[in-house]
Amino acid sequence: MSKESFEPQPKSQHERPELESAFHPMSEKPEAGRKRSPHEIQELKDKLRFVTKNLSKNFNLNLIPGQGWAAGLSKKFEEERRKHPEKSLEDFDEKLLVPEVMTYPEQDLLERSEDYIFGVFRHEMGHIKHSDYQSLLESQELAKQEGYKPLDLFTIYDAWEDGRSNNQEGQTSRTARHRLGAYLKEDIAQALLHDFEKKSLPIQYGLLCWAKGAEPFIEDFDFEEMKSKIKDEKVLKAFGETEGVLDEYLNESKGRRAFKEVMWEKGWPVFKELIDKYIEEEAQKQHAQDKQQQQGGQGQEQQKQESKEEEGEQDQSQKEKQEDQEGKGEPQEKQEEAGKQKEGGQKNWDELSDEEKDQYRQKAREKLDEEEREFTKQLQPKSVEMKENEDGTMEIQVQMVTQEDIEQALEEEKEYQEREKKRQEQIQQAKSEVQKNLEATQENLKERMTGLTKEERERYDAYYSQIKKYVGMLVERLDEVFPPQEEAEWEGGYRRGKRIDPRKLAREIPTQEGRFFERKDVPEVKAVAFSLLVDVSGSMDGEKIQEALKAAILMAEAFSQKGVPFEILAFHAQLLELKGFDENYFGKKKLEIMRVLKEVKSSGAQYNDDGFAVDSAARRLQKRLLENDASGALIVFSDGQPAPSSRHAGSEWELREIVRKWTKQIPLIGIGIGPGMERTIKQYYDKNGLPVPDIQKLPQSLLKILEKQLQKFERSESK
């Protein structure tokens, strides 16, 4: 067999997410003398099925009772393997390598702890998913060619591979590591480590390697203390030479590469040397024991002879006659052979012939074989069957499951799915109720916090969300012009507010008007005040009023957050107050601004009393500024020429004259909305008129106007 068969084949490896402890907390082992009830066993089976399904994902792994823990691969895999005997496991489609059926012993579910049950389950899955038995099978002929038995190779492989497969499986979660440790401690560790220092040197070495791989999993396991019990320097030397190699093997994810590049090339040579030393040492030890026993037997015979001569009990003539008869009765060759054996038993080891030495070596070899068989028997996963052929090679087959077992599994799976469906329906119903109650509670809190119902909030947010970024920009600019003098404190005890006081929540929530909200008293910026006047005549209907509303919301949100006094007015045949200087911009007041959407469709919208509206708004703002010794500005949104109603059609309401009068007293800015307004807005507002032909840029235009006005305030304050 050529070594090329060991070469790893490139293959993508996909980590499958593992699901552990996603259900009920782990139950402890049943108390002494008590076994699980049928109901508890059924729950445990369902948990095991749950984990099984998640580990095998879409491969439909079925779980059924059996004689022990075992896993059966699909018939398709067996067919493919027969077609391609030369292929390594890594070369097969990974979907074929996931067991179709996993069996478990009913007795374990009755008595064993959950940690043990899931631990042995993960151990079995680990070997099937990560161990490359094909490399082991391929290497056995090479081991024989080197003068060793396949069982020797199998022994070191088992000692190393058990830790590697557990390590790969344990990397999926902490729970997996904990449960693998419970299984190893309960089922294997005590049996393997009992008087291990008295076993043969290769077995001592194998147990050291196994313990090194198991140490991270077994709680309170002291590897160094165990190692200190070994007194033979040859074992310690061999382990020291391969300890780093073993660590490399334990952490290699590809089974074929781990075997070929790590164990075969670096670990196997050291193990072979240890086997040679043991056989030679054990042969000499057996020879010394035989020699001592023969010498002891001859000493006892001599004492008996001397005793008989002293007592005169031996008849000399009788003795001579008997010896004569024996001499005549035995062939000369046998007498000579007996003499040689007697003489040979007295020889030292170096005096023995090669044939005699080989006889002792063969006995040592047989003793090692028995210990290796026992060692590998304890380590082998229950999910595989191991057979030793007449030529010494080992055959390993993943255990198969009968058709009857599969049919039984399908029936149990059907029952499980029905129970699971009912359980999921109950869970979903309970979740729906909880979610419904939670949403109702949250909605109640939001309504009380904002003063608006869900539908009202959605209506308002449809516009606010489009200019939210501009609000933040304006607030930042206001912070630069009017830096906060002192951090305002939150005050509690309100039925509505911006924040919830959790200390009062439990006490107040049962009441319909619980006072568990807090408000932050934002100090009002007294130095400025702004007024926004919006044209809501019929010509503004459509996209114009939509963008005008967004601009109004921009100013309202930013000024409200900063505490800047402002009012918002609208006009057609009459002047409408949407938000006054001293009113909080909260709750239903936000809906007042949205009235502009209705007013452009009202009966008064056929008129456009610009002159009257600008004059009235200017008077209101001037009064506010004088009373508070403040600065400010009036901003007017309009889309056309005045079309006054009969009540405001006189010359005293001529727009151009009113604008000229008030621009001498307060800052007044006219914004012409829509295309074709360049000439019209300049006609009435002169240099204070600003056309915005692109309607969608109205919020940005308002932001720029407010920034310019704030710059003027900065310059005036610096003087």
Q: Please state the domain extents for the chain.
A: 35-111+402-442, 132-297+352-396, 454-485+526-718, 487-522
Rounded to the nearest angstrom, the gap between the alpha carbon of residue 576 and the centroid of all alpha carbons in its chain is 60
* pLDDT tens per residue across span 551-581: 999 989 999 988 899 999 999 999 999 999 9
Please name the residues in contact with 562: beta carbons below 8 A apart, sequence gap of 6 or more: 475, 478, 479, 482, 522, 525
Query: If we measure between CA atoms, which residue out of 39, 78, 29 comes closest to residue 399?
Result: 78
d(CA 91, CA 504): 65
Residue 530 pLDDT more than 90?
yes
pLDDT computed for residue 406 by the predictor: 60
* pLDDT tens per residue across span 609-659: 999 999 999 999 999 999 988 889 999 999 888 999 988 888 889 999 999
Q: Could you count the other beta carbons within 10 Å of the beta carbon of residue 472?
A: 13
Could you tell me the pLDDT band of residue 670, with boundaries at 50, 70 and 90? very high
DSSP for 435-482, please give it.
HHHHHHHHHHHHHHHHSS-HHHHHHHHHHHHHHHHHHHHHHHHHHHHS
Helix (H, G, I), strand (E, B) or coil at 529: strand
* Burial classification of residue 441, based on how many CB atoms lie within 10 Å of its CB (0-12 exposed, 13-18 middle, 19 or more buried): exposed
pLDDT computed for residue 288 by the predictor: 92
Lowest mean pLDDT among 50-54, 249-253, 357-361, 510-514: 510-514
Q: Let me know: does 257 contact 8? Beta carbons within 8 Å.
A: yes
Please name the residues in contact with 381: beta carbons below 8 A apart, sequence gap of 6 or more: 123, 124, 127, 128
Could you tell me the pLDDT band of residue 24, with boundaries at 50, 70 and 90? very low
Q: Which CATH number fits domain 454-485+526-718: 3.30.830.10, 3.40.50.720, 3.40.50.2300, 3.40.50.410?
A: 3.40.50.410
d(CA 399, CA 428): 39
* pLDDT tens per residue across span 401-435: 556 666 666 677 677 778 878 888 999 999 999 88
Beta bridge partner(s), residue 567:
531
Residue 330 pLDDT more than 70?
no
Q: Let me know: does 671 contact 702? Beta carbons within 8 Å.
A: yes
* pLDDT tens per residue across span 582-615: 999 988 999 999 999 999 999 999 999 999 999 9
Q: Let me know: does 548 contact 540? Beta carbons within 8 Å.
A: yes
Residue 271 pLDDT more than 90?
yes
d(CA 713, CA 707): 10
Percent of the chain past pLDDT 70, that is, above it, reads 72
d(CA 282, CA 294): 18
d(CA 89, CA 397): 12
Average pLDDT over residues 222-244: 92
Torsion of CA 378, 383, 385, 386, to 10 degrees: -40
- Amino acid 600 reads V
Which ranges of 84-195 would DSSP assign to H, the alpha helix? 106-111, 114-130, 133-145, 150-170, 174-184, 190-193
pTM of the predicted model as reported, rounded to 2 decimal places: 0.48
Residue 272 pLDDT more than 90?
yes
Beta strand 631-638 with 668-673: parallel, antiparallel or unpaired?
A: parallel
Average pLDDT over residues 44-59: 64
Lowest mean pLDDT among 142-146, 180-184, 393-397, 442-446: 393-397
Longest pairwise C-alpha distance within the chain: 175
- Of the spans 108-112, 140-144, 282-286, 385-389, which averages the highest pLDDT? 282-286
- Of the spans 412-421, 452-461, 512-521, which averages the highest pLDDT? 452-461
- Amino acid 450 reads T
Lowest mean pLDDT among 201-205, 660-664, 715-719: 715-719
d(CA 680, CA 698): 17
